[in-house]
């Protein structure tokens, strides 16, 4: 039954293996993860995406960035270089792509290089910061590429060299394009407003110039997933206003070198009505350490000359000055033509004052002159929030957008692998259904085969019982007959009381044999009970010889009794019954007067030899051949040289190891 079950299992396994191989290989890096790990990774990605800044894009007109000359083939070399002025430690470089809208695929990065490297130098040494090829899979993308610099080199210039270009936009022309390159030393963008040189420039387009590569304008609006939404602070009047001054108290004197002006959100209506624009076209910013500005120093002055000078976040860099108070003067307001009059507007969503890249104006008090009819909440200018939520540093903002790109690129790969695993599970479930059907069929076949095996066992058991009945009962009954003859002879010759004691002994032996014959008949119907008769095989052999060979000369030699005791009960019984049948045949047919028995047993072989001096036999008795067949032993019956017969039984039990008794 066990072998049949194994065969059915191997057939089913052979049927399953080819199907599993046909399912395909998982993506590299994911095949080592379990299904639970993949599901956990997908949850981690979705959870992290909820905390990252979202893609939100600028509207209106503005600078595009830098674009090189166009080429017919991608394998042209173009480069751009930013001179930082002095050697500073650089720990991160961020490349912001130029975006264009494709009618079929949506937003794309136009002109972002396919194969390029980034170099950094200080006038004496040049370091390769990073290099990228097609295998890095940077495209397609709409997010910035954040390149860490480890270890951080001290560089006075940064250079990007592209040796394989991508399409710059619609058409089949290739060029090098970037919207912005940011070079960070800590939180500070040290590339802001620095000189830029390039291998070539698309001079005919005013929106695509080298200076726009470091003007601080990116194609995104800051849209974070954290913080509290805040409204912009507007100032407006129906008459021309000369100026408006806003003063921020930093509460301590700190070195500052940048001011970031966040424009008010202008997306309340679609399309925009044009009257919500409130970027002042002329601004002057000064600093001082005294509240009356008696020690005033000019930080910077801004004069808008074209639409390319303004954007959602205007970054103004100036030589570092140490001051406590910063005053922003709006020298000119935006003028809007209304239906019945003219409106003059100005406003900001947030004013950031940076010291080493850190906003030191956040949460600081703001004061200023007010316009008639305007009720202003000036705390909105330094609350650290815009219409979408918390305002991040430029570095954190770009890093989050770059991280979003990485996660959104990884997510469909994980989802595809999960779907592949789910499909494989479904397929395996179907296979398990077939497996259950095959197992059911295998079980039925096994039951039928088991019945056949049991029937064969019944036939063998019947044959064994018949042999036992023939040998055991036959021998016992023959012994009873011998004892009867002795009793009869003794009765005839009885003289005196002494003979009667022997008659009593013979009668007792006859009773014992009768009881033993009855017990044997019962045990033959249940072979498990037969071991009670032969717990000590050596003693049984001696008793059997004494009982059957009562009036014959008998010599017996036994070696290896422990090995004989350790035989399985059924084989022990069969050996003893074979010996009993040999003695019975000698008594019945050989007319022998002397019998010699030799038995040797070890862990591998049992050798039983019975020799008599009778008349011999012409052919092996069928009963002995049957016994040898049941034992699966070798039987030889040969005449002796001095007369008589030599019977030898050799039993090897390699397949049935003798178990040591505890």
Q: Verify that 317 and 387 share a domain, yes or no.
A: yes
pLDDT-derived band at 656 (thresholds 50, 70, 90) equals very low
User: What CATH number does residue 386 fall under?
Assistant: 2.60.120.260
Q: Verify that 237 and 381 share a domain, yes or no.
A: yes
567 within 8 A of 658, measured Cβ to Cβ: yes
Q: Is 348 exposed, middle or buried (0-12, 13-18, 19+ CB in 10 A)?
A: buried
The H or E element containing residue 477 is helix 474-493
Instruction: Read off the pLDDT of residues 198-210 as tens digits, 9 standing for 90 and up.
Output: 999 876 778 888 9
pLDDT of residue 527: 47
Q: Verify that 201 and 237 share a domain, yes or no.
A: no
pLDDT of residue 519: 63
Q: Verify that 255 and 375 share a domain, yes or no.
A: yes
pLDDT for 58 beyond 60: yes
pLDDT, mean of residues 234-258: 86
Instruction: Read off the pLDDT of residues 153-195 as tens digits, 9 standing for 90 and up.
Output: 899 999 999 999 999 888 789 999 999 999 999 999 999 999 9
pLDDT-derived band at 624 (thresholds 50, 70, 90) equals confident
Residue 225 belongs to some domain of the structure:
no
Buried b / exposed e along 604-627 (16+ C-beta atoms within 10 A): eebbbbbbbbbebbeebbebbebb
Give the total number of structural domains in the chain: 4
Q: Verify that 204 and 258 share a domain, yes or no.
A: no
What is the distance between the alpha carbons of residues 510 and 7, in angstroms, rounded to a whole number?
Answer: 56
Q: Which of 181, 214, 247 is the last residue of a domain?
A: 214
Scan for tokens 């650089």, then name that residue. 90
pLDDT for 558 beyond 50: yes
pLDDT-derived band at 570 (thresholds 50, 70, 90) equals confident
The H or E element containing residue 488 is helix 474-493
Q: Verify that 125 and 79 share a domain, yes or no.
A: yes
DSSP-based three-state secondary structure for 282? strand
> The domain containing residue 9 runs over which residues?
2-50+403-451
Q: Verify that 598 and 655 share a domain, yes or no.
A: yes
Instruction: Read off the pLDDT of residues 371-423 as tens digits, 9 standing for 90 and up.
Output: 655 667 889 999 999 888 899 999 999 999 999 999 999 999 999 999 999 99
pLDDT-derived band at 498 (thresholds 50, 70, 90) equals low
Instruction: Read off the pLDDT of residues 503-538 as tens digits, 9 standing for 90 and up.
Output: 666 666 776 676 666 566 655 554 444 445 567 888
What is the distance between the alpha carbons of residues 203 and 206, in angstroms, rounded to a whole number?
Answer: 7
Q: Verify that 82 and 172 share a domain, yes or no.
A: yes
Residue with more model confidence, 317 or 482: 317
pLDDT of residue 563: 84
Please tell me the least confidently modeled range out of 32-36, 393-397, 435-439, 458-462: 458-462
Residue 102 belongs to some domain of the structure:
yes
pLDDT of residue 653: 73
Question: Mean pLDDT over all residues of the chain?
Answer: 83
Residue 59 belongs to some domain of the structure:
no
Q: Verify that 311 and 344 share a domain, yes or no.
A: yes
Q: Verify that 131 and 270 share a domain, yes or no.
A: no
pLDDT-derived band at 328 (thresholds 50, 70, 90) equals very high
Q: Verify that 145 and 178 share a domain, yes or no.
A: yes
Instruction: Read off the pLDDT of residues 330-345 as tens digits, 9 standing for 90 and up.
Output: 998 887 776 677 777 8
pTM surpassing 0.75? Answer: no
Residue 559 belongs to some domain of the structure:
yes
Residue with more model confidence, 218 or 3: 218
Residue 535 belongs to some domain of the structure:
no
pLDDT of residue 292: 93
pLDDT for 12 beyond 70: no
User: What CATH number does residue 576 fall under?
Assistant: 3.30.565.10
DSSP-based three-state secondary structure for 74? coil
Residue 531 belongs to some domain of the structure:
no
Residue 474 belongs to some domain of the structure:
no
661 within 8 A of 566, measured Cβ to Cβ: yes
pLDDT of residue 531: 46
Q: Verify that 646 and 589 share a domain, yes or no.
A: yes
Residue with more model confidence, 282 or 487: 282
pLDDT for 24 beyond 60: no
Residue 572 belongs to some domain of the structure:
yes
pLDDT of residue 229: 86
What is the distance between the alpha carbons of residues 386 and 282, in angstroms, rounded to a whole number?
Answer: 23
């Amino acid at each position: 039954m066990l072998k049949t079950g194994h065969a059915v299992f191997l057939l089913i396994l052979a049927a399953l293996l080819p199907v599993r191989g046909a399912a395909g290989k998982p993506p590299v890096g994911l095949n080592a993860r379990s299904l639970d790990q993949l599901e956990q990774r997908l949850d981690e990605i979705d959870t992290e995406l909820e905390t990252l800044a979202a893609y939100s894009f600028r509207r209106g007109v503005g600078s595009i960035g830098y674009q090189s000359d166009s080429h017919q083939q991608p394998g042209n070399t173009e480069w751009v270089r930013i001179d930082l002025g002095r050697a500073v430690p650089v720990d991160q470089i961020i490349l912001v792509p130029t975006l264009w809208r494709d009618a079929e695929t949506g937003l794309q990065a136009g002109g972002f290089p396919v194969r390029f490297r980034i170099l950094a130098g200080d006038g004496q040494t040049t370091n390769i910061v990073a290099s990228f090829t097609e295998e890095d899979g940077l495209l397609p993308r709409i997010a910035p590429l954040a390149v860490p610099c480890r270890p951080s080199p001290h560089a006075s210039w940064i250079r990007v060299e592209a040796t394989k270009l991508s399409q710059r936009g619609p058409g089949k022309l290739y060029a090098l394009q970037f919207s912005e390159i940011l070079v960070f030393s800590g939180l500070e963008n040290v590339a802001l407003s620095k000189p830029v040189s390039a291998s070539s420039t698309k001079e005919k387009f005013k929106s695509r110039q080298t200076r726009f590569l470091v003007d601080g304008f990116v194609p995104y609006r800051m849209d974070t997933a954290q913080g509290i939404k805040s409204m912009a602070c507007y100032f407006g009047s129906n008459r021309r206003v000369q100026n408006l001054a806003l003063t921020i108290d930093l509460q301590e004197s700190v070195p500052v070198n940048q001011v970031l002006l966040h424009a008010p959100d202008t997306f309340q209506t679609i399309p925009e009505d044009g009257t919500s624009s409130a970027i002042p076209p002329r601004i002057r910013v000064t600093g001082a350490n005294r509240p009356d500005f008696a020690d005033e120093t000019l930080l910077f002055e801004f004069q808008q000359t074209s639409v390319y000078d303004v954007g959602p976040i205007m970054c103004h860099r100036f030589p570092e000055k140490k001051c406590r108070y910063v005053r922003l003067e709006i020298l000119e307001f935006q003028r809007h033509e209304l239906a019945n009059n003219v409106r003059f507007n100005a406003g900001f969503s947030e004013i950031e004052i940076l010291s080493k890249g850190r906003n030191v104006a956040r949460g600081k008090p703001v004061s200023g002159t007010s316009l008639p009819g305007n009720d202003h909440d000036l705390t909105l200018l330094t609350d650290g929030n815009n219409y979408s939520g918390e305002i991040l540093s430029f570095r954190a903002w770009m890093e989050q957008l770059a991280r979003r790109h990485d996660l959104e690129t990884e997510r469909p790969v994980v989802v595809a692998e999960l779907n592949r695993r789910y499909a494989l599970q479904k397929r395996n479930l179907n296979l398990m259904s077939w497996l259950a059907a095959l197992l059911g069929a295998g079980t039925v076949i096994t039951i039928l085969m088991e019945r056949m095996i049991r029937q064969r066992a019944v036939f063998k058991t019947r044959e064994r019982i018949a042999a036992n009945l023939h040998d055991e009962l036959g021998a016992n009954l023959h012994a009873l007959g011998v004892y009867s003859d002795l009793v009869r002879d003794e009765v005839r010759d009885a003289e005196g009381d002494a003979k009667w004691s022997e008659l009593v002994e013979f009668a007792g032996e006859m009773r014992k044999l009768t009881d033993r014959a009855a017990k044997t008949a019962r045990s033959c119907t249940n072979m498990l009970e037969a071991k009670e008769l032969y717990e000590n095989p050596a003693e049984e052999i001696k008793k059997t010889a004494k009982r059957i060979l009562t009036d014959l000369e008998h010599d017996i030699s036994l070696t290896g009794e422990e090995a004989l005791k350790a035989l399985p009960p059924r084989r022990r019984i069969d050996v003893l019954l074979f010996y009993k049948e040999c003695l019975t045949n000698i008594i019945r047919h050989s007319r022998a007067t002397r019998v010699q028995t030799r038995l040797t047993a070890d862990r591998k072989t049992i050798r039983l030899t019975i020799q008599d001096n009778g008349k011999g036999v012409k052919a092996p008795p069928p009963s002995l051949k049957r016994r040898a067949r049941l034992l699966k032993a070798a039987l030889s019956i040969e005449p002796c040289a001095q007369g008589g017969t030599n019977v030898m039984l050799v039993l090897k039990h390699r397949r049935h190891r003798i178990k040591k008794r505890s």
